[in-house]
Structure 1
Amino acid sequence: MFALALGLLALRFLPVLPPTGWLIALLVLALMLLPFRTYPVAFFLLGLSWACISAQWALDDRLKLALDGQTRWVEGRVIGLPQQTGEGVRFELADSRSRNARLPKRIRVSWRGGPPVRSGERWRLAITLKRPAGLLNFHGFDQEAWLLAQRIGATGTVKDGERLAPARSAWRDGVRQRLLAVDAFGREAGLIALVLGDGSGLAAADWQVLQDTGTVHLLVISGQHIGLLAGLIYGLIAGLARYGCWPRTWPWLPWACGLAFTAALSYGLLAGFGVPVQRACVMVGLVLLWRLRFRHLGLWWPLLLALNGVLVLEPLASLQPGFWLSFAAVAVLVLAFGGRLGAWSVWQAWTRPQWLIAIGLFPVLLVLGLPISLSAPLANLVAVPWISLVVLPLALLGTALLPLPFMGEGLLWLAGGALDGLFKALAWLAGQLPAWIPAEVPLGYWLLSLLGALLFLLPKGVPFRVLGLPMLLLAVFPPRELVPHGQVEVVQLDVGQGQSLILRTRHHTLLYDAGPRSGTFDLGARVVLPSLQKLGVKALDMMLISHADADHAGGAAAIAKGMPIKRVVGGETEGLPAFLGTQPCNSGERWTWDGVTFELWQWPDAISGNPKSCVLQVQANGERLLLTGDIDRAAEQAMLASPLAVSTDWLQAPHHGSRSSSSWTFVERLAPRSVLISRGRSNAFGHPHPQVMARYQRLGSQVYDSAEQGAVRLQLGAFAPPVVARSQRRFWRERLP
């Protein structure tokens, strides 16, 4: 079983999938080894080959390259729970078909300003189809892996559509609509998350509170909820039997086990049967089965069987962070409670699991690049029993009693009030101690932290256990690798149709542009700020906003709220938030940080908008970088008369490679060796323009496009080739063109 698990998990770490012929050979070899009792090798190969075959099926189901960007009429059935947002609706289509084209089995679409969509309905939609993709940064969320794990073969934007058939068998959506109509202190979305496992209705501020306090697992249905419900049903029947209230002709133990598992399975189906729910149902079923047979059940066996059960059913589950967190949390509890001599007091049983989970999950959160809540142990001391014993029973019972007038609504009103009180307390705690995003930790220090966590979780008296804490601290305070004197590390982030670059010298950091913001979708908060924190940046010496357009300045407010900034400079001070205290761009200003020279330029005749962009030139050991914002041809011609119009090694293409910029006289004078382009994939503006790309190709410039290669990292002053995020080989990522 352990060898099978290793084979299934190995898929997550493969840079490429083996060819089909090799997969068949591995499968045949595994079957041939079984008669010779070489079970570990055979089951490892069985797990690996099955995982690779399943992954290849998912890759083959992706949208064909020839259909990428095309708008087609598609017929399909809405599945899952559509997500209503302030701007429209997002949902998934199954059984999709289009004339003269084979489409993936599942398509995820968004409809801006679209009508209400219900699960189970059939629609005919005009969709602009796209291959699965997402922003790709060195330390960010991997959208491509998530889409593959969901087996979504295409995404798209709906232009128009018509409903062909009403909803059928959409009982989960019906329950959600009933819950939305209930008055629950404004916490209807939280109750829906608890009952149905659908957290799409929670506001961004609520998610931030849950993340800061380490209580996300309480509003995302997990094994704790499933196990609690099964335990309540089992305990209720056992109590009735003990006090003579259970029919004597019915043996109480089979009924208790059967009804407890039925309740757990029913709740799992109501919640959508995700990975944590699958694990919990398997483990609850095993525990009840062993209890029914009066046999002792080991602690690790159910966990291992649940792990294999989940991965055999869905090998791609290992691509999701929630999979690792779910099983790691249970493994920590098994390790902490197993092999202990003597009973714990009620206080110890209540408090110790929170601290042990915080320590045990620290290396897991670290390697997954997720925020770490410092207040989680304290928050969960109150939140876990409050949700488990008050909010969840009221929410489930209220949902079940909704057909009864006033009864269900009253219970849900009480559940909403209890949940609202908890959120207010958590919000206060999050304000005092927000989540911590640690800096990137080298692999060696991470392995030491993992070993330290394991040692610390062992019982008292185990040799060398005391070394666990200092080994953990090595990952908390790892030695920081400084940029060499006279050089600057430049990272162009992948922020879609926008721009943001981080420039780090030995002791200083400058941020050029802050990424886009559209409505509540703020890439300054989602990408730029976490990237700065992952690089170990505690404060910015300067944030330079080229101009006030939302794709360059939209994330500035979130970054200013997230970390101290000594100075803010902008090409357009009037278009930026007043609290930033933005200073105007002083053309000709020049300064030196750690042997690296910086110089500003701005077209004096520019009135506003793109031509007023503040341009930055950086020189390190004779290697030059020019960041131009969105200047147009007129500003380019004016710049040719400035000291910055010299041969340049690295050029940030003006205005994302727009046709209105990158004139021939400009690029010929600068003669860039390499060009950086920051833009969104399949953007509506057609950036970069083919004529612009032809000019750079004519000069022999190497182009690094964020839409194709993701984030780019270079060491200015070292005259070394850059590193692009897509060069980190993963089997689910398309190869570089």
Structure 2
Amino acid sequence: MKITCDQIKISDHFLSGEACLGKQRVLISLKTNSELERLIKSGKSLYLANLKADISQVEPATNPGEFDFAQYYKSKKINYRLKISNYRIVLKKQTFFDKLHYFRFKIQNYLRSLPKLVSFFASEMILAENPSKDNKDILNNYRDLGVIHLLSISGLHVALYTSAIAILATVFKRVQSEIIVSCIIFLILEVFFSNFQPGFVRASLSYIYGVLFNQKKIPITSIDKLGVVVLTHLFINPGLFLSTGAILSYLLVLGLELTQNTSQLKQGSLLNLLILPIVLHYFYQVNFLTTVFNLLIVPIFNFVLLPLTFLAVVIFPILPRLVDIIERIFKNIIMFIDYLAKTNLGKVTFGQINWWQTIIILVITLSFLIYFESKKINRKLLSILVGAYGIYFTLIHFPLYGQVSFIDVGQGDSILITTPLKRKVYLIDTGGKLRFGNFAKNDPQLNRITIPLLHAQGIDKIDGVFLSHQDADHIGDLAPLLKQVKVKKLYFAKGLTNNLSFQKRIRGKIQHTKLVPLLAGDKVVEPGIVFNVVYPFEEGLGENKDSLSLFFKIGQKKWLMTGDLDQEGEKKILEHYPLLKVDYFKLGHHGSRTSSNTDFLHSINPSVVFISSGRNNRFGHPHPETLDTLKKLSIPYLNTQDSGTITWTYSILGNKKLTTFLKKEKE
């Protein structure tokens, strides 16, 4: 196995990144030693022999709306992940490509030595990579405003590089053929340094073919040249269009060709209209003021950020104080962009349109652009387009179905409940990451799981969040949820607010959210659903034994959710509600032996139970004893660790269906 220093990262003596196993690229992770770290820091390409490793496929998304890493890495020809437990380091003579990787490694280190914001923009523009996780807010702001394309190296950078080379060559009195060869060599090297970023590869191929056709005096239209570029790019990387960036890049170039005779403002609007179906399919949100923000931010980027970034890269070794001034300029620009993004002006959570809807709208939009000059045809196409978007928006925001979804949040609980038509949205627990030892905090998993799932369904506000108890795996992501999504009411077992840990969790996060304490016997009456509280019977501090337990009826089916309630609590429920029967039950405490005993399950008599537990969790949930109990009682179960998100839906027409994200089953 070959490791190149620019393709991996080391943190806390743990190495992760990409490597080559023969001719195949793979993801790797392993614990390092001092010798390995020393060699990697020297920039050498290394070989690992005598490998002992667990091999698995790159994990796909397990929730609707979640980013699919399996598809992303497939576009980079990576399908497998190796967790290496044993290896031997082998040193070999460095090849030409090893030296290129070494040079890229030195560029990485140099750019990381620059002030933070200068480093960020330089790394994005030269290497097409983000040097630090701390810059995610900047990327999110650019994405929310619809100007994220500015950070992708593409045609603008090719034009910049080739123009700079041409000017230098003219100064040194080089002939045209030498200029062309120099440009092509530089672009090929930059393709390598940018890690084959699709937009830059496309723009570089376009330049090379343009020069070739011009030299050979081959007449070809710009659309035909784009077709040749696409075929060449697909030959190099057959999985090209598994990448969202590649789809958007080629679509924008096609749009530029179709709208080249329009004004700048009109062209910007038409280009945003063209990529809108792709944006909605992958990102679920759109900013209808994107054209305005582009007109505002593009000049700042082109005439301030871009030139100052390259200037800073060049002068940093000799004039670091001047680069500090540039950093302050960047800081003010970032503050301005952050302010614009935080206003949420023009931002709409539309929801996800599926593939066939995306293709239909894309075809209509392309036809609209092609026949843009024909007012009669254009008016009809525009009416069809507006109608299609209107229908899709209505179906997403006023759905014909309701649901109960057990979100796959790993080792934790989070259950989404919605009603049909005039949709009401409720969440039982938020999930959250259990942390052991002194580990630095990462981004909340809510950002990659729950928020995308909500946005995919067009949900940007929640009517009520029920908190079962205070454990991190149930409400650890409450604070980031309150920060990003409007929550009308927060329901919890009475006494939870006396818990110091819970107080700390919500401090400063509750603004327009109403706090509602509950005890057994209380009811939460909402349109289309009534939540009956069946536990606890007295105040507690939000421990497992105090878990808020809910019984409700939806779609003519009875449900029971008991959080992490133990067997003693289950007995108390039976004592007070001896006739309680349910159709569906969320198994207590992730399938632990401490919950859901035989008598309780036999009494409530569910037709199916659901388990929310993490893959390879350290607790061994669900416990074998619990699964044996289910088997003896002939109760089937579904587990999020096997099925991903489990969704039960019911329609206003009476249809009911039970599906799982990783494999589908019918009720």
What is the TM-score when the length of structure 2 is the normalising length? 0.83
Q: For residue 94 of structure 1, what is the amino acid of its counterpart?
A: C
User: Retained in 1: the 8 A contact 2:118–2:312?
Assistant: no
What SS is found at the alignment partner of 1:619?
strand
Q: For residue 588 of structure 1, what is the amino acid of its counterpart?
A: G
Q: Distance in 1 between matches of 2:178 and 2:489?
A: 69
What SS is found at the alignment partner of 2:273?
helix
* Partner residue in 2 for 1:569: 491
Q: Distance in 2 between matches of 1:424 and 1:368?
A: 27
Q: For residue 407 of structure 2, what is the amino acid of its counterpart?
A: L
Q: Distance in 2 between matches of 1:176 and 1:442?
A: 39
Q: Distance in 1 between matches of 2:413 and 2:492?
A: 14
User: Retained in 2: the 8 A contact 1:110–1:157?
Assistant: yes
Segments of structure 1 that go 5 or more residues without pairing to the other structure are: 1-74, 97-102, 729-734
1:615 aligns with 2:549: yes
Residues 135 and 677 from structure 1, CA distance in 2 versus in 1: closer, same or farther, beyond 3 angstroms?
farther
Q: For residue 369 of structure 2, what is the amino acid of its counterpart?
A: L
User: Retained in 1: the 8 A contact 2:648–2:656?
Assistant: yes
What SS is found at the alignment partner of 2:376?
coil
Pairs within 5 Å for 1:274-673: 274-337=197-260, 340=261, 348-349=263-264, 351-396=265-310, 399=313, 405-406=317-318, 409=320, 416-433=327-344, 435-441=347-353, 446=358, 449-458=361-370, 459-477=372-390, 478-480=393-395, 482=398, 488-506=402-420, 507=422, 508-517=424-433, 519-571=441-493, 572-573=496-497, 574=499, 575=502, 576-578=505-507, 579-580=509-510, 582-604=515-537, 607-620=541-554, 622-643=556-577, 646-673=580-607
Q: For residue 682 of structure 1, what is the amino acid of its counterpart?
A: N
What SS is found at the alignment partner of 1:582?
strand
Residues 476 and 110 from structure 1, CA distance in 2 versus in 1: closer, same or farther, beyond 3 angstroms?
farther
Post-superposition offset of 1:659:
2.8
* Partner residue in 1 for 2:69: 143
Q: For residue 626 of structure 1, what is the amino acid of its counterpart?
A: L
Post-superposition offset of 1:83:
4.3
Segments of structure 2 that go 5 or more residues without pairing to the other structure are: 436-440
Q: For residue 152 of structure 1, what is the amino acid of its counterpart?
A: I
What SS is found at the alignment partner of 1:269?
helix
Alignment partner for residue 160 of structure 2, among 228, 238, 263?
228
Residues 193 and 126 from structure 1, CA distance in 2 versus in 1: closer, same or farther, beyond 3 angstroms?
farther
What SS is found at the alignment partner of 2:656?
coil
Q: Distance in 2 between matches of 1:229 and 1:645?
A: 77
User: Retained in 1: the 8 A contact 2:412–2:473?
Assistant: yes
Residues 273 and 419 from structure 1, CA distance in 2 versus in 1: closer, same or farther, beyond 3 angstroms?
farther
Q: Distance in 2 between matches of 1:724 and 1:374?
A: 34
* Partner residue in 1 for 2:662: 726
User: Retained in 2: the 8 A contact 1:213–1:379?
Assistant: yes
Q: Distance in 2 between matches of 1:111 and 1:377?
A: 48
Post-superposition offset of 1:281:
1.7
Post-superposition offset of 1:503:
0.8
Residues 627 and 268 from structure 1, CA distance in 2 versus in 1: closer, same or farther, beyond 3 angstroms?
same
Q: What are the superposed Cα offsets for residues 111-147 of structure 1, whole Å, 9 maximum, x if unpaired?
A: 6999796563556898665442144222332222223
User: Retained in 2: the 8 A contact 1:653–1:675?
Assistant: yes
Alignment partner for residue 675 of structure 1, among 579, 591, 609?
609
User: Retained in 1: the 8 A contact 2:252–2:271?
Assistant: yes
Residues 326 and 636 from structure 1, CA distance in 2 versus in 1: closer, same or farther, beyond 3 angstroms?
same
User: Retained in 2: the 8 A contact 1:675–1:702?
Assistant: yes
Q: Distance in 2 between matches of 1:294 and 1:420?
A: 49
* Partner residue in 1 for 2:119: 188
Q: For residue 547 of structure 1, what is the amino acid of its counterpart?
A: H
Post-superposition offset of 1:695:
1.9
Post-superposition offset of 1:428:
1.6
Q: For residue 290 of structure 2, what is the amino acid of its counterpart?
A: A
Post-superposition offset of 1:568:
0.4
Q: For residue 648 of structure 1, what is the amino acid of its counterpart?
A: V
* Partner residue in 2 for 1:271: 194
Post-superposition offset of 1:602:
2.4
Post-superposition offset of 1:365:
1.2
User: Retained in 2: the 8 A contact 1:617–1:644?
Assistant: no
Q: Distance in 2 between matches of 1:552 and 1:112?
A: 34
What SS is found at the alignment partner of 2:637?
strand
Residues 641 and 123 from structure 1, CA distance in 2 versus in 1: closer, same or farther, beyond 3 angstroms?
farther
Count of residue correspondences: 626
User: Retained in 2: the 8 A contact 1:657–1:677?
Assistant: yes
Post-superposition offset of 1:360:
0.9
What is the TM-score when the length of structure 1 is the normalising length? 0.76
Q: What are the superposed Cα offsets for residues 265-303 of structure 1, whole Å, 9 maximum, x if unpaired?
A: 222222111222222221111112223334443121222
Q: CA RMSD in A?
A: 3.6
User: Retained in 1: the 8 A contact 2:122–2:313?
Assistant: no
